[in-house]
Amino acid sequence: MTRSLALLAALLTLALLPAAASAAVQTETRTAGNVTAEFSYDKVSDFEYRDVRIKITRAGAVLLDAPVPEPCDECGVAPQGAGDPENVPALAVRDLNGDGEPEVLVDLYTGGAHCCSFTQIYGYKADTNGYFRVKGSWYDYGYELVDLDKDGNPEFRAADFRFAAAFTAYVASGAPPRVLRFQNNRLVDVTRSFPSLVKQNLKQYLRLYKKYRGDKDIGDVRGWLAAYAADKYLLGQGDTAFDLIYAAYRRGELKALDGDTSASGKRYISALRKQLRKWGYR
C-alpha cells in the first residue's frame, strides 16, 4: 500500500468512529413533586455557551425539550454563575403560587459590565398538557426568591432597573425596591403591599443623601433622590415626594459632575417627574 493510500485508509477509519461527546457539556437537574427539569449547555468558555437547553419531564412524560431563548437579538445567553452550578446553580424547581404545581426557573446572564440577568420561568398549563414561558428581567440588580409575607409562597424581591443611569452615572444611581409575584400565569408587581421594605429603602437613600450632599468628590445626589421620591409615591406620600428635592435645588445640590450630561437643576426635576409618571409611580 502506498503512503497516500495508507493515509486515506486511516482518515476513513477515523471518520467511521463515533464522535466523542464534548467534555464541556454540563447538566443541572432538579426535581420537585412529579416534575424533573434538566438544564444543559456546552461551555465553550466563561463567555461563550452553546446548545443551551431545557428539558422538563412531568409524571414520567417529557413535555418540553427545547432551546432556552435569548432575551434579545444577539444578546447571547449563559447560565447564572458562569457555569459553576455547585456554587451558583442556575436551575430551580419550585411551586411559586401555591397551586401544588411546581414551576421551573432558569437563571441566565447575557454578559456585559452592567447587564443583564433574567429568569425564564416555565409553568404548566393543564388544558394543553404543556409548558408556557414567562420572562423575569432583573438587569443589573438580580433578585432574591423570598417569602416576604410568610404565606408559604415566595416573592421575587428585586429593584427597579429602569433607574440605573437614568438620572446620573450608574455608580451614583439609586433604585426603589420592586416585588413581583407569580400569579395568573404572569409576574405581577405587588411592591406597594410591602411598605416596610419600601420604608427601609427610603431610609437608606435618605442617609446617603445627607452623608454625601456636601462632598465635593461624591456629591452627586440626583440618583439617590430619584429613588427617594419613588419610595415616597409607593408609600402614598406623593404630596411630599418633592419637598426634599426642591430644598436640594435651592441649595444648589442638583448639579452634574464634570463630564456628566444628565439633566441637572430644574431640568432634573422635570425629567424625574416625567419618568415617575411614565413608570407608574405617580
Give tens-digit pLDDT for 161-181.
Answer: 999 999 998 889 999 999 999
Average of per-residue pLDDT across 225-234: 98
Sign of CA dihedral 60, 63, 67, 72: negative
At what angle are helices 243-250 and 195-212 packed, to 10 degrees?
10
Residue extents of the structural domains in the chain: 24-139
Cell for 204? 437608606
pLDDT given for residue 6 in this prediction: 39
Q: With CA atoms as reference, report the closest residue to 196 among 182, 211, 177, 215.
A: 177
**What pLDDT is attached to residue 19?**
42
pLDDT at residue 100 tops 90:
yes
Domain covering 24-139: architecture? Beta Barrel (2.40)
Sign of the torsion angle spanned by Cα atoms 40, 43, 44, 48: positive
Tell me the CA distances in angstroms from 34 to 24, 54, 154, 282, one per residue in order. Answer: 29, 16, 20, 44
Half-sphere exposure of 17 (CA within 13 A, CB side): 9
Section 240-254 average pLDDT: 96
**Residue 232: pLDDT above 50?**
yes
CB 170 within 8 A of CB 164: yes
Kindly tell me if the per-residue pLDDT of 83 is higher than 60.
no
Give me the mean pLDDT over the 147-157 stretch. 97
- What's the mean pLDDT when you consider all of the chain? 88
Instruction: With H, G, I as helix, E, B as strand and everything else as coil, classify residue 2.
Output: coil
Q: Is the pLDDT of residue 43 over 80?
A: yes
Residue with cell 419618568: 275
* Cell triple for 99: 397551586
Place of cell 465635593: 216
